[in-house]
Amino acid sequence: MGHKRKTVSSTIESAVSSECDDGPPSRNDFEIDYRSLSGAINGWKDWITSVLTRFQAPLKSVGILSSMWVCFGIEIFRDVTILNQLVSCWCPTTHTFLVNWGEFSVTLEDVYALLLLPICGITSAIEPLSKDEKELLSALTEASNDFKKNDATCDMHEWITHFHRGNVYSLVELAACITLWLSRYVFPSKQSRSVRRALYPLACKLACGKQLPIGAFYLGTLYHNLDSIVRDINSGSMKTISVVDASFLQLFIWECFHKLAPPRKCLKDGSPRAWSRFRSRLKGSIQLTDIVDYISEFNFRPYLTNIDAYFTLDMYDGSVVPLTSEVRSNLNISRDGIGF
């Protein structure tokens, strides 16, 4: 499941002319205000650490234990200039970044390798809730209504204060924590510090043991948010607010273009790959625009590299470390005919 890239043919050029020739915009004439993961949430680290410890078994069974650990631990310095340069290459028609030598894109491989989000599942997100899930949804809704009346969103800090139960084993608390995690990391909105009620049912499915392809949902959300940036710029705006996951895109750039990547941090064996960039920033004068149009600068298979002490994956022949048991279990289920 590697990156699918090909030379841009006349057929593709014709297909994307309406959206990609008039846009994406030039690389230096717009400003993007990246709002994803903006600011720390008081109490979040303590709460999620407690939940991941107490609810390890149910979270592992649905394949999100590792990904929840990874997401809340990502902390890097964003290079807004380079992010803007990458986004300016985005084409909404093909969902790829167009460059002189062809095209490349973010794939499920990148999503799993960097965030460990599950890419397979046995349940549809739109499948009706079971009796247990309905009861949990009712309890979660009632609990949240105790401090927020008839509001589509809830402040994350207030949410944490209300639901953090210490050592009590409560599925309501688990569903509440998953809801906040989904709101902040998987389906971010411009109300970046709010928990979204629309995600309650999805969180209840996960809390009740239903496996879902969260990685696929994440990738679709990423594409949608990139599309929205280009749409805003093509409408004539000189500035746009975006909730695209800028931290993930920064990691993606560093994996694909080694000249832009800072040195990796030394971590203990088995640490998530993304954590090797903890509080990293690029020092130097090289810009993405200096190298993006040269095919020799692009790393087509970044996850084949054996990096001592860091997790990699075996999604194709040649990689060096096995998949986690969570994901291997999900892949086996998918091969039996129940996929996403």
The Cα–Cα gap between 120 and 339 comes to: 6
pLDDT reported for residue 21: 52
Q: Is 55 a member of any domain?
A: yes
Q: Is 49 a member of any domain?
A: yes
The Cα–Cα gap between 79 and 60 comes to: 34
Q: Is 6 a member of any domain?
A: no
- Measured in degrees and rounded to the nearest 5, phi and psi for residue 294 equal -110, 115
Q: From the first residue on, what is the mean pLDDT of each consecutive set of 10 residues in the chain (340 residues)?
A: 37 42 53 77 90 94 91 83 93 96 95 90 84 93 72 78 83 95 88 84 95 94 95 85 92 92 74 77 82 94 62 48 48 36
In sequence order, what E strands does the chain have?
31-34, 90-91, 96-99, 102-104, 153-155, 194-196, 239-242
How many domains would you assign to the chain? Answer: 1
pLDDT reported for residue 26: 52
Selection from 249, 251, 253, 237 nearest residue 289 by Cα: 253
8-state DSSP, 184:
I
Q: Which residues pair with 34 in a beta bridge?
A: 242
- CB of 315 closer than 8 Å to CB of 1: yes
Amino acid making up residue 306: N
Q: Is 25 a member of any domain?
A: no
- CB of 219 closer than 8 Å to CB of 165: no
The Cα–Cα gap between 208 and 186 comes to: 19
Amino acid making up residue 222: L
Q: Is 62 a member of any domain?
A: yes
Q: Is 12 a member of any domain?
A: no
Residues of the domain holding 185 = 33-335
The position carrying tokens 């903006």 is: 38
DSSP H helices, 27-186, are: 44-54, 56-61, 65-73, 80-87, 108-115, 131-145, 156-163, 171-181
Q: Is 45 a member of any domain?
A: yes
pTM: 0.81
Q: Is 230 a member of any domain?
A: yes
